[in-house]
Amino acid sequence: MQTQSDFNFEDFKKEAIKGMYEGKPLNGEKGIFAPLLKHFLEAALQGEMDSHLQESKQQGEPNRRNGKATKRVK
């Protein structure tokens, strides 16, 4: 599984051009753009999660679900 840091756009470009010549579909699970879309979506979701967590910390909100009950460890 590739992460944000090890996604190589040059290799992707070569594979995409090769796939186009071979007649592979552009979209879908085995499509040419699937790795790029996967990388983009994972980066966007990670950014959204980081922003959400940072926003909660800045507002001083505790990490809790709904505030209706106290948390206890048995």
Q: CA-to-CA distance for 18 and 36, rounded, in angstroms?
A: 15
43, 61, 62, 63, 70 from 66: Cα distances, Å: 28, 12, 11, 10, 10
37 near 2, Cβ under 8 Å?
no
Residue with tokens 């010549």: 21
**Is the whole model's pTM more than 0.75, yes or no?**
no
For residues 48 and 40, the answer to whether their CB atoms sit within 8 Å is: no
Report pLDDT digits (tens) over 5-55: 678 888 988 989 999 899 988 888 888 888 888 889 998 998 888 888 787
